[in-house]
Chain A
Amino acid sequence: MALTPEQVAHVAALARLELSPDEAALYRAQLSAVLDAASLLDEVDVSGVQPTRGDAPVPPLRPDVERPSLSPEQVLGNAPAKVGTTFSVPKILE
């Protein structure tokens, strides 16, 4: 399947990736090739087939009992930008 530049731009936006024009062209070609290869699946008859689900025994559900939370140092230790104990981001427009 050949992707259009618009499709590539749309997917990049959905994925929050910024592509240079060279990257966009490269990915367009590469992804199209991969999707072409994937079109092999078109020939498979999957009528009546359900998606896979494992059948191993599932553990019991978690009890509603409090577990310790992280300390502020642990929560914010890796934060690139913080104000007090909150994470700071550029203003969100409503």
Chain B
Amino acid sequence: MPVDDFQPVMGLEVHAQLLTQTKIFCGCSTSFGAAPNAHTCPVCLGMPGVLPVLNGKVVEYAVRAGLALGCTVNAQSEWSRKNYFYPDLPKGYQVTQFDRPICEHGQLTVDGPWGEKAVRVRRIHMEEDAGKSVHDGSAARSLVDLNRAGTPLLEIVSEPDLRSADEVVAYLKALRDILVYLGINDGNLEEGSFRCDANVSVMRKGSAEYGARVELKNINSFRFIKQAIEYEVARQVELVESGGKVVQETRLFDPARNETRPMRSKEEAHDYRYFPEPDLQPLQLRAGLVEEVAACLPELPRQKLQRFQSQYGLPAYDAGLLTADRALADLFEAVAARAKDARKVSNWFLGELSRLLNETGEPLSGLRFGPAQFAELLGAVDAGTLSNNAAKAVFEEMFRTGKAPADIIREKGLGQVSDEGTVEAVVDQVLAAAATELEAYRAGKQQVFGFLVGQCMKAMKGKGNPQLVNAVLKRKLGA
């Protein structure tokens, strides 16, 4: 952080692509990876005579996001046209919500070294995404693909409540996690389905006047966001300190040089000529929609994190890892409900399960066994019929094949003998055949104990429960 006289002031605009099957205003597929312009129709191509028809799922997702962020959901909201010319904007205007968005006045609580901070969410609105253009390096041309044109977006705008790059990153991560939890966005910055623009300004501490805002556009990783903001704040402070003025402009971040630069061509300041979209009636939410969505809201990441700590006695770090992914958290709880010790379950999740998922790169959704089997395995360890090491081997087999733990244990002969009577009998046998060693032990050679344990384990072909063998042997030796 640069000079202490200045306070960075930041607001964030996030554009999140919604995970609907079809586009916001037409029935074209939103699925990724198709050949250019394979998912287009007269509507999203902006042909003459076409009209937008709103996808109801988009509205439902917008309400979900609004409720999760504590917003007021407006029963009536309006559509507007934002007019400008660009090849990836087929109609020459974007249909968006300008005057009255669907959600307003929410907040997102962000945790960090600063404690707890409530960042206000000014508005959430729905709009359509533009297409993409690719530069054809050889010829002096750009190639336009409108598959993405019409993909539904939620624009989530915060108030300028953020005061440091770390706060910004924490806010964005928290927001992303919520949207992913809600099942409405896949949270992918690199692929552009979760896009962040930051408005950065600086103001003198104690001053009531905000500085001019610079917009940093579309930075596609959390690390770059932090770097970009830190660079930009330093740049602005230096500029002001040396008597200059911060120009209100849009800048891009260059990760290679770790600096921000003005965007080359933004002609005369955009006059978007917003006016109400005449082809769509104002959106009136149907009675009961908000209540229905509210009733189905999942527990949100922050609540789950706190509950995992209090309910399961898990440390914050572990709880954080378990709740990072909703499906992982759900699986954990399903196993923990059937197990004795949640912390042991957590260790298995953060240990063996994580290891195997990382090594194989397989998704959790492809897991070949369920919570019942997982719990069965842990129960065997608790009961002493399976050693910890053996359990790891069984788990790996379960992971790769989905076979039931009991079957694997039996097939591989990994079961551990924990029956006291059986162990006693073996110990008696071993002691009966080890008269010399017994004498040596009685004479004071403690290390013979280990040898005797080894003999017992050998006699049981390694399947003896080590703790039990130890205990019985000790007892028999009268030690």
Contact = CB atoms under 8 A, between A and B. Distances in A.
A48 interface: no
Contact of B135 (A53, A76, A87, A91): A91
Contact of A64 (B22, B135, B268, B281): B22
Interface string A11-33: 00110100000000000000000
Nearest to A55: B281
Give the residue among A10, A87, A89, A91 with the most B Cβ atoms within 10 A: A87
A86 B143 CA distance: 6
A65 interface: yes
A88 interface: yes
A38 interface: no
B125 interface: no
Give the residue among A10, A53, A67 with the most B Cβ atoms within 10 A: A67
Given A14-B271, A53-B281, A91 B263 contact: no
A66 B22 contact: yes
Interface in B27-84: 27-29, 35-42, 45, 53-59
Interface in B103-151: 133-136, 140-146
A70 interface: yes
A58 to B, nearest CB: 5
Contacts of A93: 264-265
B142 A89 contact: yes
A76 B37 contact: yes
Contacts of B29: 66, 69
Contact of A86 (B21, B36, B268): B36
Contacts of A83: 136, 141, 143
A62 B28 CA distance: 12
A91 B264 contact: no
Contacts of A54: 281
Contact of A85 (B35, B55, B86, B140): B35
Contacts of A76: 37
Contacts of A87: 37, 87, 143-144, 146
A54 B42 CA distance: 26
A90 interface: yes
B401 interface: no
A51 B87 contact: no
B38 A67 contact: no
A86 B140 CA distance: 15
B265 A67 contact: no
A31 B141 CA distance: 37
A89 B27 contact: no
B388 interface: no
B273 interface: yes
Interface string B241-261: 000000000001000000000
B183 interface: no
A8 to B, nearest CB: 14
B462 interface: no
Size range of the interface on A? 20 to 34
A89 B29 CA distance: 25
A46 interface: no
A43 interface: no
B94 interface: no
B126 to A, nearest CB: 12
A64 B55 contact: yes
Nearest to B61: A64
Contacts of A88: 136, 141-144
B85 interface: yes
Contacts of B140: 90-91
A34 interface: no
B281 A13 contact: no
A51 B277 CA distance: 13
B45 A67 contact: no
Nearest to B265: A93
Contact of B273 (A14, A61, A68): A14
A52 B252 CA distance: 42
Given A75-B45, A83-B143, A87-B143, A67 B22 contact: yes
A60 interface: yes
B56 A64 contact: yes
Contacts of B38: 69, 72, 85
A92 B41 contact: no
A41 B221 CA distance: 52
A84 to B, nearest CB: 7
Contact of A91 (B21, B28, B37, B142): B142
B334 interface: no
Given A70-B41, A89-B133, A92-B133, A65 B35 contact: no
10 contacts: A16-B85, A60-B56, A64-B22, A72-B38, A75-B45, A83-B143, A85-B36, A87-B87, A88-B141, A94-B264
List the 5 closest A-B pairs by CB distance, nearest first.
A67-B27, A61-B56, A64-B57, A86-B143, A87-B144
Given A53-B281, A72-B37, A93-B265, 14 more contacts: A10-B268, A13-B268, A16-B85, A53-B282, A62-B27, A64-B21, A64-B57, A66-B29, A75-B37, A87-B146, A89-B133, A89-B143, A91-B135, A92-B142
